[in-house]
Protein backbone atom coordinates (compact mmCIF):
# COMPACT_ATOMS: atom_id res chain seq x y z
CA UNK A 1 0.00 0.00 0.00
CA UNK A 2 2.86 2.38 0.73
CA UNK A 3 4.31 1.69 -2.73
CA UNK A 4 0.97 2.31 -4.46
CA UNK A 5 1.60 6.04 -5.12
CA UNK A 6 4.98 5.24 -6.68
CA UNK A 7 3.46 2.50 -8.84
CA UNK A 8 0.70 4.89 -9.88
CA UNK A 9 3.23 7.57 -10.83
CA UNK A 10 5.30 5.06 -12.81
CA UNK A 11 2.30 3.87 -14.79
CA UNK A 12 1.17 7.47 -15.35
CA UNK A 13 4.55 8.42 -16.82
CA UNK A 14 4.62 5.26 -18.93
CA UNK A 15 1.13 5.88 -20.33
CA UNK A 16 1.91 9.55 -21.00
CA UNK A 17 5.15 8.63 -22.80
CA UNK A 18 3.43 5.96 -24.89
CA UNK A 19 0.63 8.39 -25.80
CA UNK A 20 3.07 11.06 -26.95
CA UNK A 21 5.18 8.65 -29.01
CA UNK A 22 2.17 7.02 -30.67
CA UNK A 23 0.25 10.32 -31.04
CA UNK A 24 -2.62 8.99 -28.95
CA UNK A 25 -4.72 10.83 -26.37
CA UNK A 26 -3.93 10.06 -22.73
CA UNK A 27 -7.17 10.39 -20.82
CA UNK A 28 -5.49 11.44 -17.58
CA UNK A 29 -3.76 14.43 -19.14
CA UNK A 30 -6.89 15.34 -21.10
CA UNK A 31 -8.92 15.32 -17.89
CA UNK A 32 -6.45 17.54 -16.03
CA UNK A 33 -6.31 20.00 -18.94
CA UNK A 34 -10.03 20.78 -18.61
CA UNK A 35 -10.09 24.36 -17.42
CA UNK A 36 -13.64 24.42 -16.05
CA UNK A 37 -13.60 21.21 -14.00
CA UNK A 38 -14.20 22.89 -10.65
CA UNK A 39 -16.51 25.57 -12.04
CA UNK A 40 -18.68 22.96 -13.78
CA UNK A 41 -19.00 21.06 -10.50
CA UNK A 42 -20.04 24.19 -8.63
CA UNK A 43 -22.52 25.02 -11.40
CA UNK A 44 -24.16 21.58 -11.43
CA UNK A 45 -24.33 21.53 -7.62
CA UNK A 46 -26.01 24.94 -7.66
CA UNK A 47 -28.52 23.70 -10.25
CA UNK A 48 -29.12 20.55 -8.18
CA UNK A 49 -29.98 22.67 -5.17
CA UNK A 50 -32.44 24.50 -7.39
CA UNK A 51 -34.11 21.19 -8.30
CA UNK A 52 -34.25 20.22 -4.62
CA UNK A 53 -35.88 23.53 -3.70
CA UNK A 54 -38.48 23.03 -6.43
CA UNK A 55 -39.28 19.40 -5.43
CA UNK A 56 -38.16 19.02 -1.80
CA UNK A 57 -40.45 16.20 -0.67
CA UNK A 58 -40.62 13.61 -3.40
CA UNK A 59 -37.79 14.70 -5.71
CA UNK A 60 -37.83 14.44 -9.48
CA UNK A 61 -37.97 10.65 -9.47
CA UNK A 62 -35.35 7.91 -9.61
CA UNK A 63 -33.26 8.18 -12.77
CA UNK A 64 -34.90 11.43 -13.87
CA UNK A 65 -32.15 13.86 -12.88
CA UNK A 66 -30.93 14.53 -16.43
CA UNK A 67 -34.46 14.89 -17.79
CA UNK A 68 -35.59 17.30 -15.08
CA UNK A 69 -32.37 19.33 -15.05
CA UNK A 70 -32.14 19.66 -18.85
CA UNK A 71 -35.77 20.76 -19.17
CA UNK A 72 -35.67 23.26 -16.29
CA UNK A 73 -34.58 26.87 -16.86
CA UNK A 74 -30.98 27.30 -15.67
CA UNK A 75 -29.37 30.23 -17.51
CA UNK A 76 -26.01 29.69 -15.80
CA UNK A 77 -25.81 25.96 -16.45
CA UNK A 78 -22.50 24.33 -17.47
CA UNK A 79 -21.96 23.51 -21.14
CA UNK A 80 -21.76 19.73 -20.63
CA UNK A 81 -24.81 17.50 -20.36
CA UNK A 82 -24.96 15.90 -16.92
CA UNK A 83 -26.93 12.79 -16.03
CA UNK A 84 -25.77 12.96 -12.40
CA UNK A 85 -25.16 15.67 -9.85
CA UNK A 86 -21.62 14.39 -9.12
CA UNK A 87 -22.43 14.15 -5.41
CA UNK A 88 -24.25 11.10 -4.11
CA UNK A 89 -25.95 12.92 -1.23
CA UNK A 90 -27.26 15.67 -3.51
CA UNK A 91 -28.32 12.96 -5.94
CA UNK A 92 -30.41 11.26 -3.24
CA UNK A 93 -32.10 14.55 -2.36
CA UNK A 94 -32.74 15.61 -5.96
CA UNK A 95 -34.19 12.30 -7.17
CA UNK A 96 -35.84 10.90 -4.03
CA UNK A 97 -36.66 13.99 -1.98
CA UNK A 98 -35.26 15.22 1.32
CA UNK A 99 -37.09 12.75 3.64
CA UNK A 100 -35.94 9.65 1.76
CA UNK A 101 -32.47 11.13 1.26
CA UNK A 102 -32.20 11.67 5.02
CA UNK A 103 -33.20 8.07 5.72
CA UNK A 104 -30.68 6.69 3.22
CA UNK A 105 -27.89 8.91 4.51
CA UNK A 106 -28.51 7.85 8.13
CA UNK A 107 -28.56 4.18 7.13
CA UNK A 108 -25.30 4.51 5.17
CA UNK A 109 -23.57 6.28 8.06
CA UNK A 110 -24.84 3.63 10.48
CA UNK A 111 -23.51 0.88 8.19
CA UNK A 112 -20.10 2.56 7.95
CA UNK A 113 -19.91 2.95 11.73
CA UNK A 114 -20.82 -0.70 12.21
CA UNK A 115 -18.26 -1.78 9.60
CA UNK A 116 -15.55 0.33 11.24
CA UNK A 117 -16.25 -1.11 14.70
CA UNK A 118 -16.32 -4.69 13.48
CA UNK A 119 -13.17 -4.33 11.36
CA UNK A 120 -11.31 -2.64 14.21
CA UNK A 121 -12.01 -5.56 16.54
CA UNK A 122 -11.18 -8.30 14.04
CA UNK A 123 -7.77 -9.97 14.39
CA UNK A 124 -5.43 -11.83 12.08
CA UNK A 125 -5.88 -12.25 8.38
CA UNK A 126 -9.64 -11.83 8.66
CA UNK A 127 -9.17 -8.41 10.25
CA UNK A 128 -6.62 -7.35 7.63
CA UNK A 129 -8.95 -8.35 4.82
CA UNK A 130 -11.93 -6.65 6.44
CA UNK A 131 -10.06 -3.39 6.99
CA UNK A 132 -8.81 -3.46 3.40
CA UNK A 133 -12.38 -3.91 2.19
CA UNK A 134 -13.51 -1.01 4.36
CA UNK A 135 -10.77 1.17 2.89
CA UNK A 136 -12.12 0.41 -0.59
CA UNK A 137 -15.59 1.49 0.56
CA UNK A 138 -14.27 4.73 2.05
CA UNK A 139 -12.32 5.56 -1.12
CA UNK A 140 -15.37 4.95 -3.32
CA UNK A 141 -17.55 6.95 -0.92
CA UNK A 142 -15.14 9.89 -0.90
CA UNK A 143 -14.89 9.77 -4.69
CA UNK A 144 -18.69 9.79 -4.96
CA UNK A 145 -18.83 13.20 -3.29
CA UNK A 146 -17.20 14.84 -6.32
CA UNK A 147 -17.81 12.34 -9.10
CA UNK A 148 -20.21 9.48 -9.74
CA UNK A 149 -18.30 6.17 -9.66
CA UNK A 150 -21.21 4.34 -8.02
CA UNK A 151 -23.31 5.16 -11.09
CA UNK A 152 -21.43 2.38 -12.89
CA UNK A 153 -22.09 -1.27 -12.01
CA UNK A 154 -18.40 -2.19 -12.23
CA UNK A 155 -17.73 0.23 -9.34
CA UNK A 156 -21.01 -0.17 -7.48
CA UNK A 157 -21.05 -3.98 -7.22
CA UNK A 158 -17.45 -4.39 -5.92
CA UNK A 159 -18.04 -1.56 -3.44
CA UNK A 160 -21.25 -3.20 -2.22
CA UNK A 161 -19.44 -6.52 -1.86
CA UNK A 162 -16.60 -4.86 0.08
CA UNK A 163 -19.08 -3.23 2.47
CA UNK A 164 -20.81 -6.57 2.99
CA UNK A 165 -17.46 -8.24 3.67
CA UNK A 166 -16.60 -5.61 6.26
CA UNK A 167 -20.00 -5.95 7.94
CA UNK A 168 -19.90 -9.75 8.13
CA UNK A 169 -17.20 -9.63 10.80
CA UNK A 170 -18.53 -10.65 14.24
CA UNK A 171 -19.67 -7.72 16.36
CA UNK A 172 -18.67 -9.32 19.69
CA UNK A 173 -15.05 -10.32 19.23
CA UNK A 174 -13.22 -10.23 22.54
CA UNK A 175 -16.38 -10.67 24.60
CA UNK A 176 -17.56 -14.13 23.70
CA UNK A 177 -17.02 -16.54 20.87
CA UNK A 178 -19.56 -16.30 18.08
CA UNK A 179 -21.87 -19.28 17.74
CA UNK A 180 -20.82 -21.93 15.23
CA UNK A 181 -22.53 -21.72 11.84
CA UNK A 182 -25.44 -24.11 11.34
CA UNK A 183 -24.78 -27.20 9.26
CA UNK A 184 -25.72 -26.79 5.60
CA UNK A 185 -29.17 -28.08 4.82
CA UNK A 186 -30.04 -30.13 1.77
CA UNK A 187 -31.78 -27.09 0.30
CA UNK A 188 -28.72 -24.85 0.60
CA UNK A 189 -26.60 -27.35 -1.33
CA UNK A 190 -28.50 -26.74 -4.56
CA UNK A 191 -29.89 -23.21 -4.19
CA UNK A 192 -26.52 -21.46 -4.57
CA UNK A 193 -25.50 -23.32 -7.77
CA UNK A 194 -28.96 -22.60 -9.14
CA UNK A 195 -28.61 -18.88 -8.40
CA UNK A 196 -25.13 -18.88 -9.92
CA UNK A 197 -26.41 -20.53 -13.09
CA UNK A 198 -29.21 -17.95 -13.30
CA UNK A 199 -26.67 -15.11 -13.01
CA UNK A 200 -24.51 -16.61 -15.75
CA UNK A 201 -27.53 -17.09 -18.00
CA UNK A 202 -28.58 -13.49 -17.38
CA UNK A 203 -25.10 -12.24 -18.23
CA UNK A 204 -25.03 -14.22 -21.49
CA UNK A 205 -28.48 -12.91 -22.41
CA UNK A 206 -27.43 -9.31 -21.65
CA UNK A 207 -24.42 -9.63 -23.98
CA UNK A 208 -26.61 -11.05 -26.75
CA UNK A 209 -29.26 -8.38 -26.21
CA UNK A 210 -26.65 -5.61 -26.29
CA UNK A 211 -25.17 -6.96 -29.52
CA UNK A 212 -28.48 -6.22 -31.30
CA UNK A 213 -28.03 -2.54 -30.46
CA UNK A 214 -24.32 -2.51 -31.33
CA UNK A 215 -25.18 -3.55 -34.89
CA UNK A 216 -27.02 -0.25 -35.35
CA UNK A 217 -23.85 1.79 -34.85
CA UNK A 218 -21.25 -0.79 -35.99
CA UNK A 219 -22.93 -2.90 -38.67
CA UNK A 220 -19.72 -4.49 -39.95
CA UNK A 221 -20.62 -7.01 -42.66
CA UNK A 222 -24.29 -7.06 -41.65
CA UNK A 223 -26.31 -6.72 -44.89
CA UNK A 224 -29.52 -5.45 -43.27
CA UNK A 225 -30.56 -1.83 -43.70
CA UNK A 226 -30.33 0.79 -40.97
CA UNK A 227 -34.11 0.85 -40.58
CA UNK A 228 -34.23 -2.90 -40.05
CA UNK A 229 -31.36 -2.83 -37.55
CA UNK A 230 -33.13 -0.06 -35.63
CA UNK A 231 -36.39 -2.03 -35.54
CA UNK A 232 -34.53 -5.08 -34.26
CA UNK A 233 -32.78 -3.01 -31.59
CA UNK A 234 -36.04 -1.47 -30.46
CA UNK A 235 -37.19 -4.95 -29.42
CA UNK A 236 -34.37 -5.11 -26.86
CA UNK A 237 -35.84 -5.11 -23.32
CA UNK A 238 -32.55 -3.95 -21.73
CA UNK A 239 -31.00 -1.55 -24.25
CA UNK A 240 -33.89 -0.52 -26.47
CA UNK A 241 -33.43 3.16 -25.61
CA UNK A 242 -30.18 3.17 -27.61
CA UNK A 243 -32.13 2.03 -30.66
CA UNK A 244 -34.76 4.67 -29.96
CA UNK A 245 -31.98 7.26 -29.95
CA UNK A 246 -30.91 6.14 -33.41
CA UNK A 247 -34.51 6.24 -34.64
CA UNK A 248 -34.99 9.72 -33.20
CA UNK A 249 -31.78 11.28 -34.51
CA UNK A 250 -31.47 9.62 -37.92
CA UNK A 251 -35.09 9.74 -39.04
CA UNK A 252 -35.08 6.00 -39.63
CA UNK A 253 -37.47 4.33 -39.85
CA UNK A 254 -39.63 7.14 -41.15
CA UNK A 255 -43.09 7.94 -39.92
CA UNK A 256 -42.59 7.22 -36.22
CA UNK A 257 -43.31 10.80 -35.18
CA UNK A 258 -42.79 11.34 -31.45
CA UNK A 259 -42.75 7.64 -30.50
CA UNK A 260 -38.93 7.21 -30.31
CA UNK A 261 -38.66 10.09 -27.82
CA UNK A 262 -40.79 8.39 -25.16
CA UNK A 263 -37.92 6.36 -23.68
CA UNK A 264 -34.62 7.64 -25.07
CA UNK A 265 -35.15 11.15 -23.70
CA UNK A 266 -35.09 9.67 -20.19
CA UNK A 267 -31.65 8.11 -20.72
CA UNK A 268 -29.56 11.15 -21.67
CA UNK A 269 -30.78 14.31 -23.34
CA UNK A 270 -27.97 15.77 -25.46
CA UNK A 271 -27.77 18.40 -28.17
CA UNK A 272 -28.51 16.09 -31.06
CA UNK A 273 -31.51 14.53 -29.36
CA UNK A 274 -32.95 17.87 -28.22
CA UNK A 275 -32.76 19.29 -31.76
CA UNK A 276 -34.47 16.20 -33.18
CA UNK A 277 -37.14 16.30 -30.47
CA UNK A 278 -37.85 19.99 -31.05
CA UNK A 279 -38.11 19.46 -34.80
CA UNK A 280 -40.45 16.50 -34.30
CA UNK A 281 -42.70 18.54 -32.00
CA UNK A 282 -42.80 21.44 -34.43
CA UNK A 283 -43.54 19.08 -37.33
CA UNK A 284 -46.85 18.03 -35.74
CA UNK A 285 -48.34 21.40 -36.68
CA UNK A 286 -50.23 21.65 -33.39
CA UNK A 287 -49.94 24.98 -31.59
CA UNK A 288 -49.31 23.42 -28.18
CA UNK A 289 -46.51 21.17 -29.38
CA UNK A 290 -44.96 23.94 -31.46
CA UNK A 291 -44.77 26.00 -28.28
CA UNK A 292 -43.16 23.06 -26.51
CA UNK A 293 -40.61 22.98 -29.32
CA UNK A 294 -39.86 26.65 -28.60
CA UNK A 295 -39.34 25.75 -24.92
CA UNK A 296 -36.93 22.95 -25.85
CA UNK A 297 -35.00 25.34 -28.08
CA UNK A 298 -34.78 27.85 -25.23
CA UNK A 299 -33.34 25.21 -22.92
CA UNK A 300 -30.89 24.06 -25.60
CA UNK A 301 -29.72 27.65 -26.13
CA UNK A 302 -28.65 27.81 -22.45
CA UNK A 303 -25.93 25.19 -23.10
CA UNK A 304 -24.13 27.38 -25.70
CA UNK A 305 -23.02 24.17 -27.40
CA UNK A 306 -21.26 24.68 -30.77
CA UNK A 307 -23.09 21.60 -32.08
CA UNK A 308 -26.32 23.60 -32.06
CA UNK A 309 -24.96 26.59 -34.03
CA UNK A 310 -26.47 25.36 -37.30
CA UNK A 311 -29.81 24.77 -35.56
CA UNK A 312 -29.92 28.41 -34.42
CA UNK A 313 -28.32 29.86 -37.56
CA UNK A 314 -31.69 30.96 -39.08
CA UNK A 315 -32.19 33.23 -36.06
CA UNK A 316 -29.34 35.46 -37.26
CA UNK A 317 -31.32 36.52 -40.32
CA UNK A 318 -33.36 39.66 -39.70
CA UNK A 319 -36.96 39.90 -40.76
CA UNK A 320 -37.67 36.22 -41.44
CA UNK A 321 -41.43 35.78 -41.63
CA UNK A 322 -42.69 33.58 -40.22
CA UNK A 323 -39.84 33.24 -37.77
CA UNK A 324 -38.56 29.68 -37.21
CA UNK A 325 -39.83 28.19 -33.96
CA UNK A 326 -36.33 28.01 -32.45
CA UNK A 327 -36.03 31.78 -32.76
CA UNK A 328 -39.15 32.56 -30.73
CA UNK A 329 -39.76 32.49 -27.01
CA UNK A 330 -42.38 30.05 -25.71
CA UNK A 331 -45.76 31.61 -25.11
CA UNK A 332 -46.68 29.38 -22.14
CA UNK A 333 -44.81 28.62 -18.90
CA UNK A 334 -43.93 24.98 -19.41
CA UNK A 335 -42.27 22.71 -16.85
CA UNK A 336 -40.25 19.55 -17.26
CA UNK A 337 -43.16 17.36 -16.11
CA UNK A 338 -45.19 18.61 -19.09
CA UNK A 339 -42.86 16.63 -21.37
CA UNK A 340 -43.43 13.26 -19.73
CA UNK A 341 -45.49 11.04 -22.00
In the three-class reduction of DSSP (H, G, I as helix; E, B as strand; rest coil), residue 15 is classed as helix
- Burial grade of 339 (CB within 10 A; 0-12, 13-18, 19 or more): buried
CA distance 114 to 66: 34
pTM: 0.85
End-to-end CA distance of the chain: 52
- For 276-332, the pLDDT digits (tens) are 999 999 999 899 999 999 999 999 999 999 999 999 998 887 666 778 999 999 999
Q: Are 47 and 77 contacting, i.e. CB atoms less than 8 angstroms apart? A: yes
- For 258-281, the pLDDT digits (tens) are 888 999 999 999 999 999 999 999
- For 97-152, the pLDDT digits (tens) are 999 999 999 999 999 999 999 999 888 999 999 999 999 999 999 999 999 999 99
Task: Measure Cα distances from 91 to 201, 256, 283 in Å.
Answer: 32, 34, 35
Q: Which residues of 140-173 are buried (b: 16+ CB within 10 A; e: fewer)?
A: bbeebeebbbbeeeebeeebeebbebbbebeeeb
Amino acid sequence: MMAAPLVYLAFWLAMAGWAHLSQQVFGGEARLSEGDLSSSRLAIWSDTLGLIRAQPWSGVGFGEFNFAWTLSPFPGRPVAFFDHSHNILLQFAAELGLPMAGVLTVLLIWALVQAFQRCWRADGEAGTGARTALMMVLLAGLHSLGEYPLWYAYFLLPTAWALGHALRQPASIGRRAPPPPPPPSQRSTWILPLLGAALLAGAVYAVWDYHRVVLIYQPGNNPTSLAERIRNGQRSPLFGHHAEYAAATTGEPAGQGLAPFASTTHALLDTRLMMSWANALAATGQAEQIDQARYLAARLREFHNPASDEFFAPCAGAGLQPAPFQCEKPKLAWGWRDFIR
